[in-house]
Amino acid sequence: MPVQWRALEAWMKKFTFKLAATLALLVMAAGAGVLYATLAPGNRQHLGNSSCAGCHLAGDRVNAENASILTASQEILCGQCHPKAIQVSHPSGFAPKNKPPAAYPLDWKGDLTCSTCHEIHNSGNGLMRGTQRGKALCLSCHNDQFFAKMRDRGVSTQVGHLGGGSFVAAFLDVYSAKCMSCHDQRGNPKFATAVDQSGVVRHAGSSVNHPIGVNYKKSTIYGGYRPMHMISKKILLPDGKLSCVSCHQGYAGEHGKLVMNNTGSALCFECHDL
């Protein structure tokens, strides 16, 4: 890590928003034991393939009038898939003293939240509301003095969230999360991979759809799987979990190569005992 970045990080820590930290804890508590999903391939619109009832009390009957009645705060709902967007980020989930311009609506309880800046069901362009970007966006609500008194003139914060590109499904191991940082819906559609609501990897080529993030040992209890000590050492189970690197080599000259030849479904039978 470059020295300036560390200094900036230390500086950020000092000024870290207590609100964001509290919310992060709330999300972790709420998220325990829940499987998180990404968009299934096909619908490019953000959340277009998600269950509406996951967020809207009206479920499938959601419309513009009742859409604001959500099953939990947006910090919780959105934080499940975007945990970093609520840490070291613009504060969210509080009632501001001054009402922002109409282009940046507060929620029903008067809170500034994710949907104040983001158009949830849009696609592309960071899902931003309005046409202002960068510092100009910030100046829609803040004045110049607000940034002038900051030691870096606010430049470090004007990106919105410091943990950019932060999609990490919380139940995935670190390696799968790394793979998904490139193989999510943003990359080449031919190689785009999704992890859906039930924790199933959906390969674009639909070669194999497979559970991921599940504890291998627990699965073996019910039979149908070979005991953990009998499976090839080439199959990695980080934290005991099914991972992209259980089937694919994580670090190899031939990127994405399977951990072993799958002729006759040899890879599958390493684990499956049918």
For the segment 42-61, give every residue that binds ligand HEC (CB under 6 A). Answer: 46-47, 50, 52, 54-56
151 is a contact residue toward ligand HEC (CB under 6 A): no
Q: Are strands 209-211 and 200-203 parallel, antiparallel or unpaired?
A: antiparallel
Residues 6 or more apart whose CB falls under 8 angstroms from that of 190 comprise: 204, 205
d(CA 183, CA 187): 6
Residue closer to ligand HEC (CB basis): 7 or 159: 159
252 burial (CB, 10 Å; 0-12 / 13-18 / 19+) is: exposed
Query: What's the gap between Cα 200 and its chain centre?
Result: 16
From candidates 137, 168, 171, 173, binder to ligand HEC by CB under 6 A = 137
Q: CA dist 177 to 19, 194, 203, 238, Å? A: 26, 11, 15, 12
From candidates 61, 109, 153, 186, binder to ligand HEC by CB under 6 A = 186
Strand (E) or helix (H) holding 211:
strand 209-211
Give the nearest distance from C-beta 89 to ligand HEC in angstroms: 7
65 burial (CB, 10 Å; 0-12 / 13-18 / 19+) is: exposed
From candidates 27, 39, 76, 168, binder to ligand HEC by CB under 6 A = 39
CB 176 within 8 A of CB 94: no
74 is a contact residue toward ligand HEC (CB under 6 A): yes
d(CA 115, CA 247): 38
87 is a contact residue toward ligand HEC (CB under 6 A): no
Residue 7 carries which DSSP code? H
168 is a contact residue toward ligand HEC (CB under 6 A): no
121 is a contact residue toward ligand HEC (CB under 6 A): yes
Backbone dihedral region for residue 160 (phi beyond 0: left; psi -120 to 50: alpha; all else: beta): left
Going by C-alpha positions, the residue among 196, 168, 144 that lies closest to residue 85 is 168
Q: Is the dihedral of CA 142, 148, 154, 158 positive or negative?
A: positive
Number of residues that bind ligand HEC (CB under 6 A): 110
248 is a contact residue toward ligand HEC (CB under 6 A): yes
Give the nearest distance from C-beta 166 to ligand HEC in angstroms: 4
205 is a contact residue toward ligand HEC (CB under 6 A): yes
- Which residue's structure tokens are 């009038």? 65
Q: Which stretch in 6-14, 26-34, 249-257 sits in contact with ligand HEC by CB under 6 A?
A: 249-257
102 is a contact residue toward ligand HEC (CB under 6 A): no
Give the nearest distance from C-beta 32 to ligand HEC in angstroms: 16
Residue closer to ligand HEC (CB basis): 6 or 272: 272
Residue closer to ligand HEC (CB basis): 116 or 171: 116
* 216-235: contacts with ligand HEC (CB under 6 A): 216, 219, 225, 235
164 is a contact residue toward ligand HEC (CB under 6 A): yes
Give the nearest distance from C-beta 28 to ligand HEC in angstroms: 14
Q: Which stretch in 6-14, 26-34, 82-90 sits in contact with ligand HEC by CB under 6 A?
A: 82-90
